Structure 1
């Protein structure tokens, strides 16, 4: 039921009011007595919020409804409102046909595997503790959580020279970013600022392919920085003052290098570029790799010497602020960095860019293929990381073989510090998967 980013799927088939009702019942039955509920801009969220609230109240939990807000706004409000948990109805960067449900703890961290499994079990078994007529929970409206988030963002940064910033809200829920940057003295203009769950301005996910308008505006004006969010603003990507999209690994490296010092660690997933390792090594820090998914990155930031966590997808976590990926906070942090250290294009140019190769290989039995892959790799290499898929570091570079969670494919990633080495490592990695596939097919 749960993926690494909660429940997501097509509205009306995968994600329904019946499912939302069940999740609400399960959360309340699991002992969460006071729950914050919010949603992104998708119209289907209205129905799903009502269903979740009904399930929570039916099992005795009080509902604190905050309305349409960015996911990090809702996540931050849990502790602020003295609640036990939070539920956000959002499909994040997914297309307009989708919606989803994500559960949060008071620390701002998403529910981890054990908490998710407990909720999934209750939903699967229909194990709910329905309250009597006089034990139903209350439903209250709370309207000032965005103000609380905005104040926290303003307190988290110090801008020297104000910047001219263009914020592409993506028709989503991230308007708080533009408001806070303006309050900090920046000149701010917005793109796609009208909330609209059909995302008419551009697809919800911010990447090089979808941010053409933002890139053009930066190229043709004197703006210093371009910011882009997805539908619920848990992600943030950037465009520099020349109109160039900042590579995702470069942005991760910049944030990591700025946050870490001697002896510190930064958390990032197993597919993170060597460029981040190199940037951290230059300041005496190191990278600790996690499973793919912001919940796993956030969990690693609970360790004392981990000062920052990030995913190249655009999820950035400063644990002293919140363990929820906070796109508006990332925007403010990036503005602070540019204000104090100079143009983003020059900062990004300081980060090495290494050749990386990716492909997906279709397989009929991916679990069996991955078992064969792991056996082969462990036989051929002395050190193998099986935290999330199979990752191997070689003298030339590294490769990662990982089964897709949603498709019948094995994903292959390889990176090295030269084109020749990248090709060599990639050929080795794809060869391992191909041999494992042939061996598995021969056994059937």
Structure 2
């Protein structure tokens, strides 16, 4: 039921009002009696909010509804409003046809695997503690969380007077970024600032291909940097002062180097570039790798010597401030670094980069293919980490073979410090997966 970042799927198929009602019932039945509920800009969210809040109330829980708000605003709001849990109705960076449900604990951390399992068990077995008419919960509207989120960021980030920033909101819920930067003294221009769940300005996922307008605007003006969000504002990616998209692995390296000192660790998933390891090594810090998904990064970030967590998807976590990926906070911290250190492009150019190759292979049976791949790599006595897929450490590089959690494909990634070595590792891994896929297909055809 839960993927790497909550529940997500196409409205009317995987995600329905019935599902939202069930999750609401499960939350209250599991003991979460005071629940903060918000949503992104998708119109389908209004129906799902109604259904989910009905489920919470039907089992005796009270709802504080905050309306359209970034995911990190709602996650932070759980503790601010002395609630037991938070819910955001959002499909994050997915297309407009999708929606989903993200659950947050009182610490601001996404529901971990144990809490997700408890909710899934109640939903799948319809184990709800329904109340009589005298025990139904309340639903109240709460205002002011956006302002409190902005205030919390301002307390963390110093004055940014004179900095010029372009913010691409992506028609989503992340307008708090532009508002906060203005309050910090920045000159701000916005792109796609009108909230619209159809995402007419660009696709909701911010990447080098979808941010052409942002890159052109920053490059053609005196802007110091550009930042962009996905639909619910938990992700943040950047464009430097020359209008170049900043590779997300390098953004992770930049944040990690800023935060970590001798003996400290940074949490990052198994597909993270060696550039992060090398950026940290000079400071005596290291990377601790997790499964792919910001929920797993956040779990690791609760450990005492982990000072930062990040995913190359654009999710950034400062555990001393919040265990939720906070796009507005990340945008303002990046702006502060540019104000202090000078042009972002020069800072990025100082970081080492290495060739990295990625592809996907279509398969009918992901589990069977992965089983054959594992047999092959272990027969060849590679050093294998099976935390999430199969990550093979070659010393001078690495390969990752990982089944997709949402598509019938197996993903292949390879990186090395030498381009020819990266290509060789990539081709070897691709050959192993292709052979495994052919073998499984042959067995199925018999």
**TM-score scaled by structure 1?**
0.98
Q: Which residue of 2 aligns with 1:150?
A: 150
Q: Does the 8 Å CA contact 1:160/1:340 hold for their aligned counterparts?
A: no
Cα distance in 1, alignment partners of residues 35 and 352 from structure 2:
44
| Runs of 4+ deviating beyond 2 Å | 159-162, 434-444
Pair 1:408-2:405 in alignment: no
Residues 358-411 of structure 1: per-residue CA shift (max 9 Å, x gap): 111122221111112112212222521000000011133100000111222211
Q: Which residue of 1 aligns with 2:57?
A: 57
Q: Does the 8 Å CA contact 1:230/1:236 hold for their aligned counterparts?
A: yes
Question: What SS does structure 2 have at the residue aligned with 1:83?
Answer: coil
Q: Does the 8 Å CA contact 2:236/2:331 hold for their aligned counterparts?
A: yes
Q: Which residue of 1 aligns with 2:109?
A: 109
Q: Which residue of 2 aligns with 1:2?
A: 2
Cα distance in 2, alignment partners of residues 16 and 377 from structure 1:
42
Pair 1:94-2:94 in alignment: yes
What residue ranges of structure 2 are gaps of 5+ in the alignment? none
* Residues 211-222 of structure 1 mapped to structure 2, 5 A cutoff: 211-222=211-222
Question: What SS does structure 1 have at the residue aligned with 2:256?
Answer: helix
Cα deviation, residue 161, structure 1: 5.0
Cα distance in 2, alignment partners of residues 160 and 326 from structure 1:
19
Q: Which residue of 1 aligns with 2:31?
A: 31
Residues 2-48 of structure 1: per-residue CA shift (max 9 Å, x gap): 11111111112221111111110011111101000000111111111
Q: Which residue of 2 aligns with 1:289?
A: 289
Cα deviation, residue 436, structure 1: 2.5
Question: What SS does structure 1 have at the residue aligned with 2:233?
Answer: coil
Pair 1:253-2:253 in alignment: yes
Cα distance in 1, alignment partners of residues 65 and 260 from structure 2:
37
Q: Which residue of 2 aligns with 1:419?
A: 419
After superposing the two structures, state which structure 1 stretch, 57-66 or 154-163, moved more: 154-163
Q: Give the direction of change, closer, same or farther, for the CA distance of 1:162–1:107 in structure 2 (3 Å limit).
A: farther
Q: Which residue of 2 aligns with 1:241?
A: 241
Pair 1:180-2:172 in alignment: no
Pair 1:165-2:158 in alignment: no
Cα distance in 1, alignment partners of residues 224 and 381 from structure 2:
47
Q: Which residue of 2 aligns with 1:265?
A: 265
Cα deviation, residue 56, structure 1: 0.2
Cα distance in 1, alignment partners of residues 390 and 224 from structure 2:
41
Cα deviation, residue 63, structure 1: 0.3
Cα deviation, residue 223, structure 1: 0.8
Cα distance in 2, alignment partners of residues 429 and 222 from structure 1:
44
Q: Which residue of 2 aligns with 1:298?
A: 298
Cα deviation, residue 160, structure 1: 5.4
Q: Which residue of 2 aligns with 1:41?
A: 41
Cα distance in 1, alignment partners of residues 204 and 98 from structure 2:
11
Cα distance in 1, alignment partners of residues 50 and 364 from structure 2:
40
Cα distance in 1, alignment partners of residues 185 and 217 from structure 2:
21
Residues 53-84 of structure 1: per-residue CA shift (max 9 Å, x gap): 10000000000111110000000000000000
Q: Which residue of 2 aligns with 1:356?
A: 356
Q: Which residue of 2 aligns with 1:437?
A: 437
Q: Which residue of 1 aligns with 2:223?
A: 223
Residues 310-341 of structure 1: per-residue CA shift (max 9 Å, x gap): 00110000000100000000001001100111
Cα deviation, residue 442, structure 1: 4.7
Cα distance in 2, alignment partners of residues 159 and 227 from structure 1:
18
Q: Which residue of 1 aligns with 2:190?
A: 190
Cα deviation, residue 434, structure 1: 2.5
Q: Does the 8 Å CA contact 1:159/1:339 hold for their aligned counterparts?
A: no
Q: Which residue of 1 aligns with 2:339?
A: 339
Q: Does the 8 Å CA contact 2:160/2:185 hold for their aligned counterparts?
A: no
Cα distance in 2, alignment partners of residues 409 and 144 from structure 1:
44
Cα distance in 2, alignment partners of residues 420 and 207 from structure 1:
27
What residue ranges of structure 1 are gaps of 5+ in the alignment? none
Q: Does the 8 Å CA contact 2:167/2:226 hold for their aligned counterparts?
A: yes
Cα distance in 2, alignment partners of residues 442 and 305 from structure 1:
49
Residues 127-177 of structure 1: per-residue CA shift (max 9 Å, x gap): 111011111111111101111111110011123553011111111111111
Question: What SS does structure 2 have at the residue aligned with 1:384?
Answer: strand
Q: Does the 8 Å CA contact 2:37/2:49 hold for their aligned counterparts?
A: yes
Q: Does the 8 Å CA contact 1:37/1:86 hold for their aligned counterparts?
A: yes
* Residues 300-339 of structure 1 mapped to structure 2, 5 A cutoff: 300-339=300-339
